[in-house]
Structure 1
Amino acid sequence: MSLSTIITIAIALAFIYLAASFFTYAIQEKIVLFFNLKAKNLKETIYRLLGEEPQQGESYTEKFYQKYLQPLDLSLSSNQKKAPKSGGIEQISAKQFVTDLIELVAIELKYKNRNFYSEYGLEKIVEDINSSDCHFSDKMKRDLSAIAQRAINKFQDKGEQLQYLEQELESWFNRAIEYAQENYLRKSKYISIILSVIVVLMFNIDTVNIINKLSKSEITSTISNRVTEVVVSNSQSNSCSEVNNDTEVQTCISSILDAVDGIDNLPVGWNLSAPLKEQFRPLNFSNVIKVVTGWILSIIAISQGAPFWFGILNSLINVKSNKSAKN
């Protein structure tokens, strides 16, 4: 088998992975949208940050939810036909969060003066936070007191203390958001793997069988040439190269599916008249292991995500173009 043939087969295989990855991604985004997973994840993060138990309408987290996340929920609900932008959890500004948190402290401690810090100083504020009249959670009292105490120990000037306090509170919030982001991405990966399993079994995407068919079929060159056209077109318009950075996924899905529509006899899917005829004949342990291995390889590949396979396709097409130019 020549190098050109190997590259052609690799392009066709990567394209199949790319199309399946986009399909999986679209389903996952619909699930995220329907269940409001991003907003709920952020809400859980604020609950942990403030050390509160979930309770409707009474917690400080609920107040932040009503201000930041409820409008987000309504916005997403009114645009369900439009795929949401990819990425992690919906974030709110650390600076705005700290501003509102300080205002919340003033309300809880019943400070009427908006410039209460200049009037009372950090020592008095820490004392009031830890008093029995303050209804903050024990965790919130400990965290706010510790940050305020560091500001007192570091600086004598009230202005410098306040500036340091705000910076530390922003870092405190950002650390919680980073943890939530990692947690969300980890959960997203699990969902992606589960969906990949479903897609692979639904469409019988068997890597071993696909490679076997592509190595013997004349359609491989057709797939490779058509895919090259689509990938080059998308690269020039930059519609898919940054799908995880605020690019609408629908455009990419549409272009990929259009390419699939133009190609017949892709080596995927079930023969419904005799579903076990091709891959499992003869039906023995060796063939079963071969098919299961092909499915597992496909699941691993598809769960890598569409941007990954788009990058692989670009690299393969560049290699193919360079080789053709030399010849």
Structure 2
Amino acid sequence: MAILTVVIGIIFVLLLLSLLATTIMELIASLFHLRGRNLTTALHNMLASSDKSAVLLTEFKSNSLYRHLSQQYSKGTQGPPSYIDSATFQSILFDIILKGEGIDQLKDKIDTLPDEDLKNVLNQLLRDADNELDHFKEKIEKWYNDVMDRASGWYKRYIQKILLGVGIAIALVFNADTFAIYQRLESDPQTLQQVVALAEDFTQTQENTLVRAVDPSFEQSLESLQVLVNNQINTVKSPLGLGWSNMDFSGYGVYDWLAKALGYLVTALAISLGAPFWFDLLRKFVNIRSSGAKP
């Protein structure tokens, strides 16, 4: 049970650092419009597989409905929306294909599209729908949702790479060496009990805050999460020896430095797994400890 308690302490610290990385990652995503860029890339792959067909993508982005969803940046500039639902995509696509003409002209209009890949996809979807308009619209929306699912996968992999970089920075700034944290918790029962008590309280009181805050649409929750994380980190920072103020490297040799670097890397890799992973793991281990069962 003592080992389980130490594991809970380590997981809690990694969760706090991961939550800090989440707030930093959201700032980066907002500053560089990463979600909007990811959506633009997905739309480009769907509508403009060649340079000569880029005009269709331009028309799509010039559509009034698309522009209405665009984000307002500083200095009056506009950027791409972070998200477009499938019904909106289908509506805009029909608008730029038909160009104000009747729906009975749809098949002919599709055949005149400059993008061969898009033309083939739409004709295939039209055949699959047995030339029924409502069914065709559903097919287009499903196609869009499938592409967005893949785009979401691209985005998550890209974000995880950035999170690794953020994790390395956090590990260095806080001197958060996983091995050193383990040694401190294992050798100091008082600190261990303090950290575990915080972990148990966190799982009981902060679940809703965490769930809302990892959703990028909840900016206020993200702000409250940032305050929460700062407070929690400040609480465990001193007992765990995080930071550089009390460090003494005078007796360090090559092996010690290599072990330290490996500890930072382990912390960074752990942070890159994301806060939801560590929160779920923490909750499971806390429940095991509370029930008295062995892991």
1:293 to 262, 269, 285: 262
Deviations 1:229-271 (A, max 9, x none): 2332224xx2224644565333333223223333433232224
Q: Conserved in 1, the CA contact under 8 Å of 2:9 and 2:199? A: yes
Taking only aligned residues, the RMSD between alpha carbons, in angstroms, comes to: 2.9
Aligned counterparts of 1:320 and 1:298: Cα–Cα separation in 2: 24
Q: Specify the alignment match of 1:139 in structure 2.
A: 117
In structure 2, relative to structure 1, the CA distance for the partners of 1:165 and 1:287 (3 Å cut) is: same
Q: Conserved in 1, the CA contact under 8 Å of 2:171 and 2:268? A: yes
- SS of corresponding position for 2:161: helix
Matched, 1:36 2:33: yes
Matched, 1:305 2:274: yes
Q: Specify the alignment match of 1:99 in structure 2.
A: 91
TM-score, scaled to structure 1? 0.75
Q: Give the AA of the match of 1:15.
A: F
Q: Specify the alignment match of 1:157 in structure 2.
A: none
Aligned counterparts of 1:256 and 1:54: Cα–Cα separation in 2: 47
Question: For structure 2, which runs of at least 5 residues remain unmatched after alignment?
Answer: 76-80
In structure 2, relative to structure 1, the CA distance for the partners of 1:259 and 1:203 (3 Å cut) is: closer
Map 1:1-327 → 2, pairs under 5 A:
3=1, 5-51=2-48, 59-66=55-62, 67-68=65-66, 71-74=69-72, 90-107=82-99, 111=101, 114=102, 116-117=103-104, 120=105, 125-126=107-108, 128-130=109-111, 134=112, 136-151=114-129, 154=130, 161-217=132-188, 218-235=190-207, 238-241=208-211, 243-245=213-215, 248-263=221-236, 264-271=238-245, 276-277=249-250, 281-284=251-254, 286-323=255-292
- SS of corresponding position for 2:114: coil
Q: Give the AA of the match of 1:268.
A: L
Distance apart, 1:9 and its partner CA: 1.9
- SS of corresponding position for 2:241: coil
Aligned counterparts of 2:281 and 2:74: Cα–Cα separation in 1: 35
Q: Conserved in 1, the CA contact under 8 Å of 2:210 and 2:225? A: yes
- SS of corresponding position for 1:29: helix
Q: Give the AA of the match of 1:91.
A: Y
> How many percent of aligned residue pairs carry the same amino acid?
20
Aligned counterparts of 2:47 and 2:179: Cα–Cα separation in 1: 51
Q: How many residues align?
A: 280
Distance apart, 1:19 and its partner CA: 1.3
Q: Conserved in 2, the CA contact under 8 Å of 1:230 and 1:255? A: no
Question: For structure 1, which runs of at least 5 residues remain unmatched after alignment?
Answer: 79-88, 155-159
Aligned counterparts of 2:173 and 2:32: Cα–Cα separation in 1: 24
- SS of corresponding position for 2:132: helix
Aligned counterparts of 2:279 and 2:113: Cα–Cα separation in 1: 52
Q: Conserved in 2, the CA contact under 8 Å of 1:39 and 1:69? A: no
In structure 2, relative to structure 1, the CA distance for the partners of 1:69 and 1:6 (3 Å cut) is: farther
Deviations 1:275-322 (A, max 9, x none): 524xxx3413x3233222212221221111112222222223223322
In structure 2, relative to structure 1, the CA distance for the partners of 1:54 and 1:17 (3 Å cut) is: farther
Aligned counterparts of 1:206 and 1:287: Cα–Cα separation in 2: 12
Aligned counterparts of 1:43 and 1:70: Cα–Cα separation in 2: 15
Q: Give the AA of the match of 1:304.
A: L
Q: Conserved in 2, the CA contact under 8 Å of 1:207 and 1:294? A: yes
Q: Give the AA of the match of 1:295.
A: Y
Distance apart, 1:77 and its partner CA: 6.0
In structure 2, relative to structure 1, the CA distance for the partners of 1:262 and 1:293 (3 Å cut) is: closer
Q: Give the AA of the match of 2:235.
A: G
Structure with greater proportional helix content: 2
In structure 2, relative to structure 1, the CA distance for the partners of 1:164 and 1:287 (3 Å cut) is: same
In structure 2, relative to structure 1, the CA distance for the partners of 1:253 and 1:317 (3 Å cut) is: farther
In structure 2, relative to structure 1, the CA distance for the partners of 1:181 and 1:282 (3 Å cut) is: closer
- SS of corresponding position for 1:239: helix
Distance apart, 1:192 and its partner CA: 0.9
Q: Specify the alignment match of 2:78 in structure 1.
A: none
Deviations 1:44-82 (A, max 9, x none): 211110125679xx83323433433664421x769xxxx
Distance apart, 1:35 and its partner CA: 0.9
Q: Which structure has the greater CA radius of gyration?
A: 1
